Structure 1
Amino acid sequence: MNRLAALGHDTAKVGRPVDRECGLQEFDLLGGRGFISFLAAPRHECVYICDVTWYG
């Protein structure tokens, strides 16, 4: 999650789906063992973590 915060305004450009820069995005954790669903709000300078899924 530190990686998302370090990206700043570019957070809206990472994750899946890659063809859009807004809306709910997904970011892989530990080489595909899980993912974080997040919403980047550059105007508010925030990243909202919506869900964390772990494939234990």
Structure 2
Amino acid sequence: MLGPESARVGRPTDREGGLREFDFLGGRGFINFPPVPRHECVYVCDITWYG
């Protein structure tokens, strides 16, 4: 279940909410998503892979 802390996951680290960016596999890719705690989900907008 997604909680209110999802608005602070990933980057940018200086503010909450908005479009977030989360690195995976040691920075070889990232996912952009807006967290929506009231819906208890995230909506993935973009996945970038630097393979």
> What's the Cα RMSD here?
1.1
Structure 1 stretches lacking a partner, 5+ long: 1-5
Deviations 1:20-51 (A, max 9, x none): 11100000010000100011001111111000
Task: Report how many aligned residue pairs link the two structures.
Answer: 50
Structure with more of its chain in helix, by fraction: 1
Aligned residues: percent identity? 68
Structure with higher RCO (Cα < 8 A, 6+ apart): 2
State TM-score, norm by structure 1.
0.80
Runs of at least 4 residues of structure 1 off by over 4 A?
none
Counterpart pick for 1:13 among 8, 11, 15: 8
